[in-house]
Structure 1
């Protein structure tokens, strides 16, 4: 008799579970829709730019103006241009030419701030060979490796005039680059 009661109880539980499941399944739930966007470029070159290198993002964060006294370099950030799919049968080395959107009028070794309220400073760069970048001229030569090649650089902030005050505020600047292969 007990076994019969257990069987009946199990049957009732199964029926309630199916009824509950049916109630949940009967809800009218909207689907989630989205889109996948594919972009890129096919290039006839020794290497292509990796997605994280177009553009390269360098965020200086907040740099106290006091760090820019006496023509000091401040906020030094190490960054890199990443090349992908490199083929050393096409080229063995590369040089990068950096060109700012605007060169600072008080110190032509610096890229000018192109927007924001900060004034009296600019951005300089050091290339992968530890040489100061000269705008519009090829930087130190870099060896290419098959597959991925990193081109390291350092960016820094510097007062554009040792005698002028630096005005605090936000800033943005752009430096374009061209990679030539040898």
Structure 2
């Protein structure tokens, strides 16, 4: 028998710009009364990921980080901080980015003729328990944008 392997090596299809590669999104200060029950949310804060030197095509986006147990739709806040709340990352149409899951929506990465693209997103706090306790509510996530 014979096995034929095919493929191609190409230049990187896109680069994240320096100004958005490592960023901080300030979600603000909220009273625990903003979260009276499970599913309560804060106001969203917009942020973007700018891309350059992109080839036209299809891209996937994935955010990786820790999630609260049983809540893959949220990023967990760091230990020792607020409890009962996580961070939800959304696109502009309010579709949630589940943690560690690739999203392949062609509308998210639209490459212009100049090879640039902007991925517009937003984030907010969302309670996953009926009782939220006060404390720092910070989290970290990495992201990957891959050409398909």
Give TM class, smaller chain.
0.7 to 0.9
Q: Larger C-alpha radius of gyration, 1 or 2? A: 1
Q: What residue in structure 1 maps to residue 117 of structure 2?
A: 149
Stretches (4+) displaced over 3 A: none
Contact 2:72/2:98, CA 8 A, preserved across alignment: no
Cα displacement (A) at 1:116? 4.8
Where does structure 1 lack aligned partners over 5 or more consecutive residues?
1-43
TM-score scaled by length of structure 2: 0.78
The structure showing larger relative contact order (alpha-carbon pairs under 8 Å, at least 6 residues apart) is 2
TM-score (norm 1): 0.65
For the pair 1:97 / 2:65, whether they are aligned, the reply is no
**Counterpart among 72, 78, 96 of residue 46 in structure 2:** 78
1:172, 1:94 → 2: CA distance?
Answer: 28
* Aligned counterparts of 1:113 and 1:66: Cα–Cα separation in 2: 18
Q: Which has the higher helix share?
A: 1
**RMSD of the alignment, in Å?**
1.9
Q: Distance in 1 between matches of 2:80 and 2:98?
A: 24
| 1:92 shift after superposition | 2.1
